[in-house]
Amino acid sequence: MLSRNRGKDMAGDYAPDRSDQDHARAFADRREIRFPELARQVVEKVSDKLRVGARGMFDGFKPKPALAAHVEAATRQGADKPAAPAQGYQRPTREGVVRSWTAEHGRELAGVQARVKRAQVRANGMYRRHEAARDDHARQQPLPPTGLLAGLRRPSYEAAKASWEKTARGLQRRSTQLAKRLSKLREYLGPITGQRRHRGDELARARVERAHPYLTKLYDAVMRERRDERMRAQEQERERIRQRDKERGRDNRGPGR
């Protein structure tokens, strides 16, 4: 029935009664929003992954041929059972570890020193050019005025002298900086003698440690073992000398003393 209290009819007078859920569904349909379909697709993807099964610890891992048998044995036995070494596999000897680490260290040290030498060539060129500029500036030092008009020229001379001295101090500071830079570069090129190390050796060691951490650990362990062996040998030698001196003292006293 049309309303008699309003001048014209409204669209809501003829619309069927719908709940809030129906309005929300109609709103989503007009904008092509399909939340149930998206949720169903996500559930199907997860279900497919669960049906396939979880990835193993060694899935996608391609070991080297020498270690393939060892890794395969570890996969079969499981994480709780240690795998036996592959047939033909040999533990690295101390000499082999030292030889491998020394080769890597030498390669890194050669690269470091090559870069330092190139930087040293550039720094030497800068230093020579700077010293030439200092010599030119030294020849341009203003001379004190002389003659009858010396008093009138004195203020301009003082100003020129102050400017020249300021520039000379700046050139001197720059010369000191370049000399220090050359000195630091030479520290990377010093010889390695015994326990004495230089910056190039330290940088090469740090690079080897980053590139080959396991090899570095083995090398450090070998060095500690060798140091302990030397200390034990020195202690045994000192003990032998003490025993020898004690026996000599007993022989010098004689049996009746």
Task: Please return the burial class of 119, using the count of CB atoms within 10 Å of its CB with bins 0-12, 13-18 and 19+.
Answer: middle
Residues 131 and 142: their CA atoms lie apart, in Å, by 19
Collapse the DSSP code of 99 into the 3-class scheme (helix H, G, I; strand E, B; otherwise coil) and give the result: helix
> In angstroms, rounded to a whole number, what is the distance separating the alpha carbons of residues 90 and 86?
9
Residue-range domain boundaries for the chain = 94-238
List Cβ neighbours of 57 (8 Å cut-off, separation of 6 or more): 75, 79
Question: CB neighbours (10 Å) of residue 104?
Answer: 20
Give the end-to-end CA distance of the chain in Å, rounded to a whole number.
Answer: 146
Place of tokens 């060892």: 70
With tokens 């994480």, the residue in question is 79
Give the residues across from 196 on adjacent strands: 193
Residue range 194-236, pLDDT digits in tens: 566 788 888 898 999 999 999 999 999 998 998 999 999 999 9
Q: How does the average pLDDT of the chain come out, rounded?
A: 77
- Residue-wise pLDDT for 46-105, tens only, equals 666 656 555 555 555 554 554 445 545 544 544 444 445 555 556 778 888 889 998 998
pTM given for the model: 0.49
Side chain identity at residue 207, one-letter code = R
Kindly state the tokens that stand for 34: 């399909």
Q: Which residues contact 100 (CB under 8 A, 6 or more apart)?
A: 92, 215
